Amino acid sequence: MTSMMPVEISPELLTRFSRFDRPGMPPPAPDAWAESFSGEDYCRTLKEVGRHPDETLALYLHIPFCPGRCLYCGCNTTVTHNSQRIDSYLDALEREVGMVGDAIGTGRDVLQLHVAGGTPNYLNDAQLTRLVELVSSRFRILPETDASIECDPRRTSAGQLELLHALGFRRVTLGVQDLEPRVQRSIGRIQSIDLVRDVYWMAREIGFDSIGFDLIYGLPEQTAASFQSTLDAVIEMAPDRVACFGYSRGTSLAMHQHAIDIHRLPDDMERQRLFEQAVKSFLASGYVWVGLDTFVLDTDELAIAQDEGRLGHNCIGYTTMKADNTIGLGTGAAGEVHGHCVQNEPNLAIWEAMIERGEFPIARGHLLNPTDRRRREAIGYLICNLELPLELAEGCFDEEYRRLAAYASDGLVDVEDNKLRITPTGRYLLRHLCTEHEAYFAWDRARWHFSRSL
């Protein structure tokens, strides 16, 4: 297994590159998308998938509901305490699944299934069971399907975890964010370390194949000392995977983020140092750094895949089994279907109304041309394999390749005859390097903003 030693990033580099992904810079909407991409266009695209039964499928299901709103959240969520409201959503979701099944054909195998939100485990047992059954009524969920779900530890019980395991979920991700009480109070999400630890060990005892944690750096009141306490506690529990995201402030779309005092946020330099802390702590504890911001145990399939140069990435995340098509289901869900990037209507009421009329609830889409595909392949390869072969750039985006090569003078890349390789220092600034392909990298950032559960 290839290992990486932590490095120190100079203040000069941090000052130059800290402009990207800092608070106050929400993910931009990808300009290449067409708002005129319609439900009829999507239906035709799905029927093309139906004509290729050998193409593999992944399903992303978005459950937007939460019992309360966390102040840092930038996701597509709806706060409700009405269980019937969730039942109505499942009614509409069942109709959407049926419409997709009619278009591509019933009974297609599912390679990957991911349920996110919102708070998917806010659903009660009957609703969770119905969710899986409505998918299974049109698709085949196999024992080898990579089925995962994101859960809020505060809404989790042993009985619920047992049910999720019985329903076929083998991977669970817990929204931990930060374990220090002062930070938790500042973001409106109180969950003790004892609670998180209890839920983690319940999941272990029940037998989930993989347990992941989500952490966030750059939150209000976070300090080097407080964040290290969180890192130490997480490493002691030893989850299989940890995603460590930077807090992104986008108050134009998430007005509730105004409740966070910007003067209590770490500055750009402090944010980067917090992430460096995470890198050093995880690498020193037997984890492997995967892609941009994920750490996995060195025995994890993602670590092995990255080491062997076969790691993939899709709308769901990093994967060893990337499907040919990813179908998004639910309000705001994104997908990649037969050469098209598509996104459902993020407004819940409009999404439901469109389904009630028998329309595919598509908000926008984009058909990838050959150049788009090459660029996306290049970005994915760069993120997953930490290098960019010259053959992926030649005759398509030579200028971007030259701009990336110019970072050799900063020690961020090594230039070889037939490829660029990201250096250990460049690894910390990989997200910035990806912006040399800004228009196409924006798709993934926008998808994350509307779809990711925290």
CA count, 13 A, side-chain hemisphere, 417: 0
Answer yes or no: are the C-beta atoms of 422 and 407 closer than 8 Å.
no
Domain count, the chain: 2
The reply to whether 295 and 354 lie within a common domain is yes
What's the whole-model pTM score?
0.90
The reply to whether 295 and 186 lie within a common domain is yes
The reply to whether 307 and 422 lie within a common domain is no
* Structure tokens that stand for 36 in this block: 């005129």
The domain boundary, picked from 334, 349, 367, lies at: 367
pLDDT in tens, 315-343: 888 999 889 999 999 999 999 999 999 99
The reply to whether 260 and 173 lie within a common domain is yes
The reply to whether 97 and 153 lie within a common domain is yes
Number of neighbours of residue 357 by Cβ within 10 angstroms: 9
- What is the chain's Cα-based Rg? 21
CA 308 to chain centre: 22
Q: What is the CATH number of the domain that holds 248?
A: 3.80.30.20
The reply to whether 258 and 291 lie within a common domain is yes
Q: Which of 422, 439, 410, 421 is nearest to 15 (CA)?
A: 410
The answer to the question of residue 454 being in a domain is no
Indicate the pLDDT class of residue 453, thresholds 50, 70 and 90. very low
The whole domain housing 376 covers 370-445
Portion of the chain with pLDDT greater than 70, in percent: 90
Cα–Cα distance for residue pair 334/451, rounded to 1 Å:
7
The reply to whether 281 and 392 lie within a common domain is no
The reply to whether 297 and 324 lie within a common domain is yes
The reply to whether 222 and 236 lie within a common domain is yes
The reply to whether 302 and 425 lie within a common domain is no
The reply to whether 264 and 403 lie within a common domain is no
Indicate the pLDDT class of residue 25, thresholds 50, 70 and 90. very low
Q: What is the arithmetic mean of pLDDT over 246-263?
A: 84
Q: What is the CATH number of the domain that holds 396?
A: 1.10.10.920
Answer yes or no: are the C-beta atoms of 24 and 258 closer than 8 Å.
no
What pLDDT is attached to residue 35? 64
Cα–Cα distance for residue pair 133/152, rounded to 1 Å:
22
pLDDT in tens, 268-320: 889 989 999 999 999 999 999 999 999 999 999 999 999 888 898 888 889 99
Cα–Cα distance for residue pair 115/279, rounded to 1 Å:
28
Answer yes or no: are the C-beta atoms of 183 and 220 closer than 8 Å.
yes
Residue 409 predicted with pLDDT over 70: yes
